[in-house]
Amino acid sequence: MTTDTIETIRAAALAGVPHGFFGRRGGVSTGIYAGLNVGLGSDDDHDAVVENRRRASHAVKPGATLVTVHQVHSALAVVAEPVADDARPRADALVTDRPDLVIGVLAADCVPVLFADVDAGVAGAAHAGWKGAIGGVVASTVAAMEALGARRERIAAAIGPCIARASYEVDDGFLARFCADDPENERFFMEGRAGHHQFDIEAYVVARCALAGVRRIEALGLDTYADEQRFFSYRRATHRGEPGYGRQIAIIGIQGESRLTSV
């Protein structure tokens, strides 16, 4: 599963912006974490995870410091500041206007969203699991970017690899929760087997971006569950009864000179 070449997936909507969505190709982890596992909370070898994170960050912007958060499936967005790994703030989105930083969010089926206002020199990254998505993490990210000088009508967003509708089965109660929030949310669900539905979380997050005033939105349409060679998947690992699962990362920065820094 490990390869020497890291795979960096880029979005046309973010052309000219340092960014990348990563899967599992090009890392040093082995076993069930084989590849580019960047999850500090996994049971993977810590040194391997640190090296994988370094490789991903370097592929986006050499010399920049990678900043991530302790993700808790919330709607909280914070301004990125370099901190030690064990001091990461509990949040699910980051924003920055600093060229010496790159910001990243982890996922293993949840939706990673990268944002940029090129004119303002402001970037954002959001981890949108279903709880964060319905809770407003996209809107929080856009608002936090505006606080740094961005304008929502200029922001471009790209939605990276996540679980696709064909792979995401949910029950009646899940559907009811989304329809209670907004009856129009029913359009993101397709009827499945008795008492179950297939949820298009990617399309839902696209809609949340549009609702937040983002005008340029690109969805990459890559299914983390279905493509084992390319991506980690929490749901796939759970279905197989595996003892752990890897995480992939999405990273973005802004143009400008970065400097070698460390925490």
The average confidence (pLDDT) of the chain is 95
pLDDT at 23: 98
User: Mean per-residue pLDDT for 112-133?
Assistant: 98
DSSP 212-224: TT--EEEE---BT
Other C-beta atoms closer than 10 Å to the C-beta of 195 total: 9
**pLDDT tens digits, 196-242:** 999 999 999 999 999 999 999 999 999 999 999 999 999 999 999 99
Dihedral angle sign, alpha carbons of residues 169, 10, 258, 97: negative
- Span 158-173, average pLDDT: 98
Mean per-residue pLDDT, 153-167: 98
Q: Using an 8 Å Cβ cutoff, are 5 and 214 in contact?
A: no
Q: Which CATH class is domain 8-164+200-253?
A: alpha beta
pTM of the model: 0.95
Residue entry with tokens 């890291």: 6
Under the banding of pLDDT at 50, 70 and 90, the label for residue 2 is very low
The set of residues, in sequence order, having a beta carbon less than 8 Å from that of 87 and lying 6+ positions away, is none
Pairing of strands 77-79, 101-107: unpaired
Query: Sorting pLDDT into bands at 50, 70 and 90, what band is 4?
Result: low
| pLDDT digits 0-9 by tens, 37-74 | 999 999 999 999 999 999 999 999 999 999 999 999 99
pLDDT computed for residue 3 by the predictor: 47
Going by DSSP bridges, is the β-strand pair 101-107/189-191 parallel, antiparallel, or unpaired?
A: unpaired
Per residue in 21-31, pLDDT (tens digit) is 999 999 999 99
C-alpha torsion 80→81→85→90, nearest 10: -50
